[in-house]
Amino acid sequence: MENEHSNYGMLSRTSGLRTVMDRVSTNIGRKRPLSHSTMLSTLEIDGSKGEGGGQIIRNSAAYAAIFQNRNLRLFNIRAKRSQQGLKRQHLVALELLAQASGASLAGATLGSTDVTMEFRDISESSSESPTPSQSLVGDTHTAGSICLLLQAITPFALFANRDVQWSLKGGTNATMAPQYDYFEQVFLPTLQLAGLPLEAIQSKVIRHGYYPKGGGEVMIHTTPLTSPLSPIVLQNRGHIVNIRITAFHGGNCPRHVAERMVKGAHRCIQQKYPSISIQKQVAFHESAVGAGSGILIVAQTDSGLRLAGSALGSRKEAPQQTGRLAAEELCSTLEDGGCVDEYLQDQLVLYMALASGRSEIVTGSLTLHTQSAIFVAEQLCGITFQVEKLDETAVDKVDNSNGRVSGRHRISCSGIGFLDRFSENKETTSGEAE
């Protein structure tokens, strides 16, 4: 099969993505005029499209809060899920973004499937001086993932016009989401490798909170960028130089549970990568709320990239099996050939769209989350992504159960070089898209 140098829509027609993304495009990007009391139009996004879960809420709301040039309506929120509508962590993310950006929310209640964020016209407030700093608290009162809250607020914080102190409360180690340790050990180092200043995001864990109790707290201090984010270019993975296995336990969960996780993971990795240096560590979360355990395995390459596999402990599963599953996840990612793992590829799309210049990343199998993130970025930023299949001999295969497209891909775009809405470039980087 020939390489397909094309825009995202063309790739969807020629390599099997059409079956996935045709379902995304029906309502995303449709604008509804408001009353004459405001000059801002409203962008309507169907929350059931694409991956149809929380990511479309987080990304859409983050872009809206950053640009503040259009109101945002999200409807059919999580319509295909068994429990439809906003869950606690989605609601808290929306509330934090609304408070930070000065937006008002309509319909923002638990279980709601229709929410609107409304902003003041920038022309009415452009002469105002930015607030020097701000302190905000977001509390899920559950084990709702703190890492997912960070996915929503971090883009806004970097492109805001002031320092913000965020107190985020919920689950540091929750199900169906990356562990907080992933944010510190993989996500942040990758952005820093791409040029994010070290002082832009400072974090401190006050206490860990495990599923199902939650109760964790993380303090985040963010300092906005003073120049547009540099292009994100991750094309050469290089060779693996070391693998670090960290198993953690907290509360009354005994140490031997974490030790057995390490043992199961080490055995699996050593079989596949016998010549790679493997570091092992057991960490005790002394101030944890609830009892729990988990494991994060990070592979580092000689080009500075980090890829990970992880798993959360369960009473229904032997610790050695939990460790082995995390190791198998990492090994599968490494064999997939990308420069980023599946949890990172969709998160980077948003930053690629906002960065200046030409960003390019090489991924392994293309996840449905990534496909959805690309489509939302195109609609809200008015740019076009290119997605190129790199494995010429590989046969396109779409997993209908999760929308994943097999094989290595190159994702690229020319970002809008956004800074903040008070900067001189606000007129040319407003994100307005028809």
Residue 188 token pair: 């942040």
Helix locations, 242-396, DSSP H: 255-272, 319-336, 342-354, 368-381
pLDDT in tens, 327-357: 999 999 999 999 999 999 999 999 999 999 9
Whether 6 shows a pLDDT value over 60: the answer reads no
More confident of the two residues 261 and 22: 261
Other CB atoms within a 10 A radius of the CB of residue 124 amount to 10
User: Which is the catalytic residue, given 90, 208, 285, 369?
Assistant: 369
Angle 88-101/54-67 helices, nearest 10 degrees?
0
Q: What CA–CA distance (Å, rounded) separates 129 from 167?
A: 25
pLDDT at 123: 60
Other CB atoms within a 10 A radius of the CB of residue 29 amount to 17
pLDDT at 131: 65
Residue 416 token pair: 């809008």
Percent share of the chain, pLDDT over 90: 76
Other CB atoms within a 10 A radius of the CB of residue 46 amount to 22
Mean pLDDT of 239-264: 97
**Termini Cα distance of the chain:** 34
More confident of the two residues 412 and 132: 412
pLDDT at 425: 42
Residue 346 token pair: 């969709």
Other CB atoms within a 10 A radius of the CB of residue 356 amount to 18
pLDDT in tens, 285-342: 988 998 999 999 999 999 999 999 999 999 999 999 999 999 999 999 999 999 999 9
pLDDT at 373: 96
Q: Peptide bond preceding 212: is omega within 30 degrees of 0, i.e. cis?
A: yes
pTM: 0.87
Element (H, E) at 205: strand 201-207
Mean pLDDT of 102-110: 97
Please, which residues have CB within 8 angstroms of residue 104's CB and are 6 or more apart in sequence?
A: 98, 117, 118
pLDDT at 421: 57
DSSP state of 276: S
Whether 56 shows a pLDDT value over 80: the answer reads yes
Q: What CA–CA distance (Å, rounded) separates 213 from 102?
A: 31
Percent share of the chain, pLDDT over 70: 84
Whether 410 shows a pLDDT value over 90: the answer reads yes
Q: What CA–CA distance (Å, rounded) separates 301 from 386?
A: 26
Report the C-alpha dihedral over residues 295, 298, 299, 304, rounded to 10 degrees.
Answer: 180
* Residue 24, SS3 per DSSP: coil
pLDDT in tens, 354-393: 999 999 999 999 999 999 999 899 999 999 999 999 986 5
> Within the chain, how many helices (H) and strands (E) appear?
12, 17
Q: What CA–CA distance (Å, rounded) separates 231 from 372?
A: 21
* Residue pointed to by tokens 């080490």: 266
Q: What CA–CA distance (Å, rounded) separates 293 from 303?
A: 31
Whether 258 shows a pLDDT value over 90: the answer reads yes
pLDDT at 125: 52
pLDDT at 337: 94
Q: What CA–CA distance (Å, rounded) separates 309 from 170?
A: 22
Whether 144 shows a pLDDT value over 90: the answer reads yes
Mean pLDDT of all residues in the chain?
87
Whether 25 shows a pLDDT value over 70: the answer reads no
Give me the half-sphere count of Cα atoms (radius 13 Å) on the Cβ side of residue 387: 29
Verify whether residue 141 is a known catalytic residue.
no
